[in-house]
Amino acid sequence: MISPNLYPNQEVDSTYLLDRLTIKLRDMEKMKSTSDWNIPQQHTSSYVLVLVTGGEALLTLDRGSIHIHAQGVYSCVPESTFGLTSFGDEGAEVTIMRFDLYQELHDDPDTLHVVKDTPMFRSGKELAVSPTVQLSFMCEEIHNLWHSGRAMGHFQAHVQFLQLLASLTEASPPLKEDSQMMIQRTKDYIDEHSNENLTVEYLAGMAGLSPKYYVDLFKRRYGMSTTDYISSLRINRAKQLMAGTEMRLRDIAHQVGYQDEFYFSRKFKKAMGISPSVYMNSRRRKIASYHIAITGHLLALNMIPYAAPLHPKWTSYYYRMYGKDIPVHLSAYRIDMEWQSKIEALQEHQPDLIISYDHLRPEEKAQLEDIAPVHYLTVSDHNWRSQLQILAEHLGTQQDAKSWLETYDHKVDQVKTMMQQKLGNEKVVVVRLLKHQFTRYCSPSMLEVLYGDLAVKPAHVSEEGEIYNEPITLEQLDEMQTDWIFLMVCQESETLSFWEDVQKTSLWQNIKSVQNNRLFIIPADPWLENSPLANERILDDLMDRYR
């Protein structure tokens, strides 16, 4: 008997070895490419092993990143997120294995309990590979058995997987001092001395490499040049000083490493899109964004929030672009499920003003109003344009809203012309895949941007109203005979595995839009967020696709 009870905060005793646990291989996939590829950050409900058997890859785990060389193996725990990007010109060969752990408790020997945390497989933990282990061969063998279709294929793959785990957990971590480690050391030095006069020649000398080779390795590993990395550190440090001190701009420039105040101002505006003075004014008022879409409103008004929901998966764009600029990161897990932790964070950091939508639980609303003044945007009565203008009036930034909307409408005209040339009178249906269920789907942003601003013709009008989420089978989708399908696939392991299987079926391949290569994969971010910034990003997405 397997108990559904989970123990996310209860560790397996560190003395437990693999033979004290029951292990179940759930799924595996293998990727090999000679060009750049990436797996968007996705949620996992199982343990994950990431095994790089060729080339290099960048592994993103929740809020951190790890550079993995060939023969590198890292683990990821359940209820966390991970993403992968190939590294360098050679691409990468990567195998991903998903598995579950179960534990027999002393007081209940007839029941296996799901284990969500164990010292053997910490998130981001490197598992040492013995020199005698032929990692590439073992991964290939397990993959072939798992996908062989034979009656005993999964069982044989599981046996091989257990042997692989045993070899990984018994190996001693290798000690090596290579050029990559020296590059990491120079990066650590830059992190501590970014305000000093650092030259490529000096840093290359520290690493024992030629300047040209050093520059190439640094960019391959960190995705930007050495000088750009130093500039980013200086700009980020300057933003911290602007937010937390009353220092003059000239003094801030000198402290972060720029002797010329005007050169610093040009660098800052190029990086941030606004001048240092505008940025400082926006930081002096500590405004908290209580919802993800509120962040998109504030940024359209050139205001970077003091606190906002941020997570590398659930709010990947905001986390990547503004994570270092927003001091207080509120929970963004599965869109506002952990509201108590958001309240606690705001109680601790005491913002001057909180911006929220009005659809809150009564107890949540009461606790929020005890922290600071709250300005509510009404979800049901106004569209995002009205919300932006109402918020701008409350904050005294009407001119910013006016300028932003003029720029947005100009972009709408450009994209609308492109879409009409490409689609003409052809019709579009948006379909969403979550777990094993397809639905015909229309979010507020799809209604207002796709079918509204851009006047794209819908292939389906729901009886539920303008906003809908209706289950649909592949047979029903085929019967629609729609010209275009805009498909949103949820980035989590169960959905992605099902989606991979669906694409191999004749039913899917015979759908009119699929046969005609008129399938447009759309990401949940930004298509599910109805805010000014997200809707502008939808336009950019469509412009890139149909340019």
HEC string of 337-406 equals CCHHHHHHHHHHHCCCEEEEECCCCHHHHHHHHHHCCEEEECCCCCCHHHHHHHHHHHHCCHHHHHHHHH
**Number of Cβ within a 10 Å radius of residue 490:** 17
DSSP assignment of 135-189 equals: HHHHHHHHHHHHTS--TTHHHHHHHHHHHHHHHHHHSPPP----HHHHHHHHHHH
| Phi, psi dihedral angles at 98 (to 5 degrees) | -110, 135
**How far is residue 259's CA from residue 108's CA, in Å, rounded to a whole number?**
69
Number of residues that make up the chain = 547
CA-based nearest residue to 429, from 446, 415, 444 = 446
> Residue 63: its pLDDT value, please?
64
How many CA atoms lie less than 13 Å away from 17 in the CB half-sphere?
Answer: 7
- Tokens representing 348 are 């601790």
DSSP assignment of 198-212 equals: --HHHHHHHHTS-HH
> Residue 5: its pLDDT value, please?
45
412, 540 Cβ separation under 8 angstroms: no
> Residue 437: its pLDDT value, please?
96
Q: What contacts 216, CB < 8 A, 6 or more positions away? A: none
Q: How many distinct helices (H) and strands (E) make up the chain?
A: 22, 19
Residue whose entry in the numeric block shows the structure tokens 């869109």: 335
Positive or negative, the CA dihedral 318, 319, 321, 324 is: positive
| Phi, psi dihedral angles at 165 (to 5 degrees) | -60, -40
Q: How far is CA 476 from the centre of its chain?
A: 32
- Tokens representing 416 are 């609308």
The 8 Å CB, 24+ separation contacts for 62-66 are: 62/123, 62/311, 62/312, 63/311, 63/312, 63/319, 64/124, 66/124, 66/126
> Residue 364: its pLDDT value, please?
92
> Residue 374: its pLDDT value, please?
96
Mean pLDDT per block of 10 residues along the chain (547 residues) reads 45 53 89 74 88 85 75 86 78 89 75 80 77 82 90 91 84 51 82 88 86 85 85 84 77 91 90 81 82 93 89 86 86 74 93 93 94 92 87 88 91 90 92 95 94 94 88 95 94 88 93 92 92 94 79
CA-based radius of gyration for the chain? 26
**How far is residue 175's CA from residue 170's CA, in Å, rounded to a whole number?**
16
**How far is residue 16's CA from residue 168's CA, in Å, rounded to a whole number?**
16
47, 100 Cβ separation under 8 angstroms: yes
Angle between helices 398-423 and 532-546 (to 10 degrees): 30
**How far is residue 467's CA from residue 490's CA, in Å, rounded to a whole number?**
19
